[in-house]
Amino acid sequence: MNEKLKAIIENKDVNIKDAESHASEFIDIITHETGSDDFALIFNSNVYSASEKLKSIIEKVFAAHNNQIKLDGYDTISSDTVKLILIINSSLKKSLGKKFDLIITIIELLYLIINSESQSSNTKKILDSKVEQLNQLYELSKEFSGILELDYVSKLLIFSIVGQFLVSNFAIYYFDKDINVLESSIDKVEAKKLIAEFDYKKLTEEKFTEGNFPEIYTAGFHLALPMQIKNETKGLILLGEKKNKEKFSKYDIEYINSVGSLAIISIENSILFKEALEKQAIERDLETARIIQKNLLPREILQPEGYQISAYSESAKQVGGDYFDLLKNADNETIFAMGDVSGKGITASLLVANSQAYLKSISKLNLPIHEATGLLNDLVEESTVSGTYITFFWGTLNSKRELTYVNAGHNPPLLIRNGEIRKLDKGGLILGMLKTMMPYESETIQLQTGDYIITFTDGVTEAMNSAEEEYSDEKLEEICCGLKNESADEAKELILNDVKNFTAGFEQSDDLTLLIIKVT
């Protein structure tokens, strides 16, 4: 608790003669709590403010308008229970949010303290109760501000209320996309059903359930209080009757609202903290995936006699499973392969790693490419979880300038010859969907000098600009048809620059991989 406020509370000999000195002290306390002096108190027609400028303006307006006050840009608040007026900058009041309720409590406490000698015993009882509650609120504010575990926050909230009022039933709710029952004296499933049809967004202030919410009242809850952040209802407190059968007083409700305001901020912070931890875990997952993916790419690009090869692969922020490889088989033919694993993150990268290992092993068996593809599919199918698969294309290049390939559901590579396009689409099913039941189909093509083979993943054709328009197959085919005397490297740069000019720096959600082969 603020030490100055604590000293005032513990002073038992305070009377009306101390009004001015204690008003000044409370001005200091409220300035400390708000971080601003843009407010004033009016008591017994006297103006108290840490801002001499504001005090002077108010005194002039107050005198000129027969003890009435209204200033542009300022709110005037009169408490129902005290003869004090608070004038506060409207923007400051809005920025304080629920903390403003605590300020009002402090002001009411000021009035009660400086008038305690002339009040009845009942008022002194109320004063003692409010002093105790204010003390608890300060202690609870420290507790709530230091907690980032949702379970602990909700338990502290309910213990602070149940311990104070000894209620028979309780339920604490938090609302995001769903109704979350944090604590409840009844079964949580039943507690959720209880308010499933309840339009909680319209509940902006406390309500007694009798006559207002019959079903909730019948379930044993007598009071419903919203927990709000920036005027949006983010939570709900339901309380049953007190065990001593007393009604909830105005001061009880003020206290519960104040505790709820502290708690809902802490609940939000707990959830944001948990989301931040989860995000960090995902980022670590993605970084691991990037490392795996990078290490799987060929360290050097093979350049077999009679061919130029150029390749590029770029990971998106949400790492996918793009993959390409270049290797030699038992007959010294050059194998080139490209795949795109469904899903993202480390799972996709590990499947790519497995597939690469299978490909290296199978390439040494000297099987016809269509048979090897069936074997590769069976191995991938055994090692994948449901819903995971790989689109895959691979081919062999030999010294006779022959291309033999199989396409397993991948974007058809483009064979460019004299400005004409031939799509390489012979093959079969995507890898990993089903065991091989029908043999894959292969095709052999006699290549000619000047031919280009453009192999790519959908990260190229589905690259988006800020208007969420895709680069498209048509744009890729158009630029590829214009290739004539460019080297493989030049053709790669031409395509990549066209894609980058189209996207204009817009962040991509998929990996982009491109492999260019030119027959020389």
- Look up residue 375 and give its two tokens: 């074997």
Residue bearing tokens 């009169």: 78
Query: What pLDDT score was predicted for residue 80?
Result: 56
Average the pLDDT over each of 106-115, 193-202, 384-393, 470-479 and give the range with the smallest value.
106-115
Long-range CB contact pairs, 57-64, < 8 A, 24+: 58/87
Strands 170-175 and 179-184: antiparallel
- pTM value is 0.53
* pLDDT, tens digit (0-9, with 9 covering 90-100), for 227-247: 888 888 888 999 998 888 888
Q: Which of 85-94, 163-172, 261-270, 430-439 is most confident?
A: 430-439
* pLDDT, tens digit (0-9, with 9 covering 90-100), for 76-109: 887 655 567 889 999 998 888 777 777 777 667 6
- Residues with Cβ within 8 Å of 255's Cβ and at least 6 positions away in sequence, in order, are 133, 136, 137, 164
What pLDDT band is residue 12 in, cutting at 50, 70 and 90? very low
Query: What pLDDT score was predicted for residue 318?
Result: 57
- Residues with Cβ within 8 Å of 136's Cβ and at least 6 positions away in sequence, in order, are 160, 164, 255
Which DSSP helix (H) or strand (E) runs through 75? strand 74-78
Q: Summarize the confidence of residues 112-138 as an average pLDDT.
A: 57
Q: Give the full edge-to-edge strand order of the sheet including 420-423.
A: 307-314, 512-519, 452-456, 414-417, 420-423
Burial of 110 (0-12, 13-18, 19+ CB in 10 A): buried
pLDDT higher than threshold 60 for residue 8: no
* pLDDT, tens digit (0-9, with 9 covering 90-100), for 360-409: 999 988 899 999 999 999 999 988 876 788 999 999 999 999 999 999 99
Q: Summarize the confidence of residues 130-150 as an average pLDDT.
A: 66
pLDDT higher than threshold 60 for residue 123: no
Helices (H), 65-181: 90-96, 99-114, 121-145, 150-165
User: What is the rounded CA–CA span in Å between residue 237 and residue 516?
Assistant: 64
What's the length of the chain? 520
Classified by CATH at the fold level, domain 131-291 comes out as: Beta-Lactamase (3.30.450)
Q: Which residue has the higher pLDDT, 68 or 228?
A: 228
- Which regions of 409-510 does DSSP assign to beta strands (E)? 414-417, 420-423, 427-428, 443-446, 452-456
User: What is the rounded CA–CA span in Å between residue 90 and residue 94?
Assistant: 6
Options 3.40.190.10, 3.40.30.10, 3.30.310.10, 3.60.40.10; CATH for 297-519 is: 3.60.40.10
- Residues with Cβ within 8 Å of 65's Cβ and at least 6 positions away in sequence, in order, are none
Please list the residues that pair with 456 across neighbouring strands: 514
Q: Summarize the confidence of residues 306-334 as an average pLDDT.
A: 86
Please list the residues that pair with 464 across neighbouring strands: 470
List the one residue out of 309, 486, 515, 519 whose CA is nearest residue 399: 519
Helices (H), 398-487: 458-461, 473-481
Q: Summarize the confidence of residues 400-425 as an average pLDDT.
A: 97
Residue bearing tokens 């602070």: 160
What pLDDT band is residue 444 in, cutting at 50, 70 and 90? very high
CA separation (Å) from 178 to 153, 175, 195, 200, 357?
19, 6, 12, 12, 44
Query: What pLDDT score was predicted for residue 115?
Result: 58
Residue bearing tokens 């305690």: 116
Task: Please say whether the beta carbons of 380 and 290 come within 8 A.
Answer: no
* pLDDT, tens digit (0-9, with 9 covering 90-100), for 345-356: 667 777 888 888
CA separation (Å) from 55 to 220, 419, 451?
51, 84, 86
Domains of the chain: which residue ranges?
1-119, 131-291, 297-519
Long-range CB contact pairs, 209-218, < 8 A, 24+: 209/238
User: What is the rounded CA–CA span in Å between residue 420 and residue 404?
Assistant: 20
DSSP line for 29-42: HHHHHHT---EEEE
Query: What pLDDT score was predicted for residue 245?
Result: 84
What is the share, in percent, of the chain residues with pLDDT greater than 90? 39
149-187 burial code (b ≥16 CB/10 A, e <16): ebeebbebbbebbbebbebbbbbbbbbeeebbbbbbbbe
